[in-house]
Amino acid sequence: MMSERSNRELELIIQRLNSQLDSKNEQIAELNAFIQSATENTQELIRNFRAFCVKVLESELAYGDITSRDLETMSLNDLLGRARKMLRQNQEKARSIYDTFKERLTQKNQMIQGLTDQVSQLKFMIDNAEKMFNSPFEEPQDLKRTAAYMLDTDTPLEALRPAMAVTTVADENERVVDLSGSGEKSEVTLVSDGKMYVQNLESITEQLKEIHWQTFEIIVDSGVSEVSVARRLVAEKLFDIGESISNEKASRLIKQLVTLMLFNQIKVSTGMRWFTVLTLTDIGMKLYIEKFRKSPVETEYQKIVREHENAEHGYTIKDVVQILKDTGRYRSVSMSRRGNAIQMPDGRSCIPDIVCCLPNGIEYYEVECGNHHQSDFNDKCNKLKSVTQNLFFVAPNRETVEKKLKPQIEQWIRECGRALLEMSGVVVYLTSISDLSGQRWTYVYNMKDERPIYTATPPPKKKGGDEQKEE
């Protein structure tokens, strides 16, 4: 019995082991099939990887640095390292090519912009040439004066002495208008040692002799404002006992009219000279209308203040005009805002301070006192470079050149891009009125270098004890 049970148990054990063995064999078969599939996939990946590396390394194959057999026998690690190195080199080369094409594209765009500016400049020159050449600006005879000669500009107003003529110095009882604290064109303050008061007109007319009335009429009818011009005009046109009067007597007559409050006196500095201008007072206007039964003409001072930012800016422009005329280079020189206005394609206007007509071209000058914000200055320069290649800037003195205009011009160049301005053919000329009178430019920006060309000499030093006369 015992033997039969043991055999039975043994058979059961053998059956279980066979069943487990069959199960394991099935698992092994499945695993072998997976390994076979993975091996085939891996071999396919290796073949593709080698083909990729061959593609990456084809430049080395082309130059004979390695052969196809080398690639086939090379280990995967060596092949991968070599491919990574070549890929990195190719990426660097691609970046270099991209940067090169980007730079060339930028240059082409700059060239296009430069050519566009040149076409715009030529268009404006053609559009305005006929008007400029056929209708030259003629300055009124009474405003013409002799050639300007510089003494010194880089000095305070009190120390300035002009090179032209002689001007009346106000006596203690004369009324002088102070413009130093006035920001508006029409606002001035009447100042004197005493307080402002209402003058009895009869007390004034009683002191006016016929020669005073004649002097008064000559000055008001002519519209002249500068005292030196008024004095010369009175000396030419007024006769006393059949003879023309002297400049000294004309000066005394004008001083008496100022003392009687028919005229105000205003001191003006242009950087090259300081002088006095006459303006008609309310009393003078009332007496003129009552005496001569007509309205006074618009004076030179009124025209200048109306057309320009202020009297000093306007008279500085006038002095620059005279210097440019004295060079003899130009057919005509205009400071008329209406005549100088240029209509831009976008509807805006460009109005240069001075327009000079050469025998074969036009030059535009800007007289700058350094009062513009950078954005306004940039806008002005951008307009000018659309109509001309040469931008001329004149300042009242060397200090304004160095501390205000030079930094503004260099900031504009940085914002525009020096390369673009060079493509447009733009050259910027900057000078003070003193250097201009010496026919030289303080700085020239030719856009070929970041630094401008410096052509001026240092300001002359004043000699102790030297006295110069006011105009």
Q: Is residue 7 part of a domain?
A: no
Contact 317, 351 (CB under 8 A): no
Structural tokens at position 348: 């805006």
pLDDT tens across 377-420, in order? 999 999 999 888 999 999 999 999 999 999 999 999 999 989 88
The residue ranking higher by pLDDT, 10 or 471, is 10
| 367, 425: one domain | yes
Q: How many domains does the chain have?
A: 3
Query: 235 and 128, same structural domain?
Result: no
Residue pair 435/423 in contact (Cβ under 8 Å)? The answer is: no
> What is the DSSP track for 350-362?
E--SEEEEETTEE
pLDDT confidence band for 38 (50 / 70 / 90)? confident
CA atoms of 408 and 258, how far apart (whole Å): 42
Q: Are residues 257 and 229 in the same domain?
A: yes
Decide which of 74, 108, 126 is a domain's last residue: 74
Q: How sure is the predictor about 348, in pLDDT bands with cuts at 50, 70 and 90? A: confident
Residues 147 and 287 in one domain: yes
- What is the token pair recorded at 369? 């006192």
pLDDT the model gives residue 31: 87
CA atoms within 13 A on the CB side of 403: 8
**Two structure tokens written together for 342:** 């240029």
Please check whether residue 401 lies inside any domain of the structure.
yes
Please check whether residue 157 lies inside any domain of the structure: yes
Residues 128 and 259 occupy one common structural domain: no
Domain match, 46 and 105 both: no
Is residue 340's pLDDT more than 70? yes
The reply to whether 297 and 353 lie within a common domain is no
Q: How confident is the model at residue 97 (pLDDT cuts 50, 70, 90)?
A: confident
Residue count of the chain, please give it: 471
Residue-by-residue DSSP string for 305-339 = HHHSSSHHHHHHHHHHHHHHHHTT--SEEE--HHH
**Which segment, 27-36, 38-47, 153-162, is predicted with the most confidence on average?**
27-36
With respect to residue 319, please indicate whether it lies within any of the assigned structural domains.
no
pLDDT of 400: 93
pLDDT of residue 339: 82
196-217 as b/e: b if 16+ CB within 10 A = eeeeeeeebeeebeebbbbbbb
Q: Which residue has the tokens 């004008």?
A: 254
Extract the tokens encoding 453: 């060309």
* Half-sphere CA count of 373, side-chain side, radius 13 A: 2
Task: Print the domain residue range for 62.
Answer: 32-74
Residues in CB range of 410: below 8 A, 6 or more apart = 445, 452
Domain identity same for 212 and 156:
yes
Based on C-alpha coordinates, what's the Rg of the chain? 44
Q: What is the largest CA-CA distance in the chain?
A: 181
- In terms of domains, do 418 and 465 share one? yes
pLDDT of residue 162: 34
Give the pLDDT confidence score for residue 99 in this predicted structure: 82
Q: Please check whether residue 238 lies inside any domain of the structure.
A: yes
**Per residue in 300-312, pLDDT tens?**
999 999 988 789 9
C-alpha span between 295 and 420 (Å, rounded): 55
The answer to whether position 322 is within a domain reads no
Q: 357 and 277 in one domain?
A: no
Tokens of 266: 């205003």
The answer to whether residue 313 sits within a structural domain is: no
Per-residue model confidence as pLDDT tens digits over 113-160: 666 766 776 666 666 655 555 555 454 443 344 333 333 333 333 333
CA 366 to chain centre: 10
What CA dihedral angle connects 323, 326, 329 and 333, to 10 degrees? 60
Q: Could you tell me if 209 and 158 lie in one domain?
A: yes
Position 173 scores a pLDDT of: 37
